[in-house]
């Protein structure tokens, strides 16, 4: 009976890390899409193509919503894992990763690291593009 319980526990853990890996991959994909659109937005801002700016901005907002939903889904999975650990939802990510088998931790750590890197890059690009829009708007107003 204990072997069956151990096998069930292992399956549950694999299901959890499979879910977490899928959520992290989805988040990476959507945040990568945001960065691609932000790069496109920068190009159209420099070209001062008003129609393209509006179109890309709308696409970017939609992509940001998708990325945010992916982040929320990942956080939900982490919260569920934390609650199964009976440690509350404020548990630190490394403690959660420590609950997974040794062989899967490097993959999870790499995915989390890449999500963090892309999140920082995305925030930086959002700020840069906002500054560029502000500057171009100021220039446009001064020429009118």
Whichever domain contains 135, its CATH number is: 1.20.58
CA distance 137 to 93: 42
Alpha helices (runs of H) in 85-104, residue ranges in sequence order: 93-97
Please list the pLDDT of the chain residue by residue as tens digits (144 residues).
Answer: 333 333 334 435 777 889 999 999 999 999 999 999 999 999 999 998 888 988 999 999 999 999 999 999 999 998 888 888 775 556 788 888 888 889 999 999 999 999 999 999 999 999 999 999 888 878 767 776
Helix, strand, coil % over all residues of the chain, rounded to 5: 85, 0, 15
DSSP 87: S
| Non-local CB neighbours of 42 within 8 Å, separated by 6+ positions | 125, 128, 129, 132
Q: What residue numbers bound the domain in which 19 lies? A: 2-143
For residue 3, the model assigns a pLDDT of 36
For residue 16, the model assigns a pLDDT of 83
> pTM above 0.85?
no
Domains: count for the chain: 1
Task: Give the pLDDT score at 15.
Answer: 76
């Amino acid at each position: 009976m204990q072997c069956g319980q151990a096998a069930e526990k292992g399956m549950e853990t694999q299901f959890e890390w499979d879910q977490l890996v899928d959520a992290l991959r989805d988040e990476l994909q959507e945040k990568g899409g945001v960065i691609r659109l932000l790069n496109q937005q920068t190009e159209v801002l420099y070209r001062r193509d008003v129609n393209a700016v509006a179109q890309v901005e709308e696409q970017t907002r939609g992509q940001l919503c998708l990325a945010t939903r992916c982040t929320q889904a990942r956080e939900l999975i982490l919260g569920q894992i934390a609650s199964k650990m009976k440690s509350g939802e404020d548990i630190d990510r490394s403690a959660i990763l420590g609950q997974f088998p040794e062989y899967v931790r490097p993959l999870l750590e790499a995915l989390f690291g890449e999500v963090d890197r892309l999140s920082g890059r995305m925030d930086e690009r959002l700020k840069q593009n906002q500054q560029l829009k502000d500057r171009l708007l100021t220039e446009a107003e001064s020429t009118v």
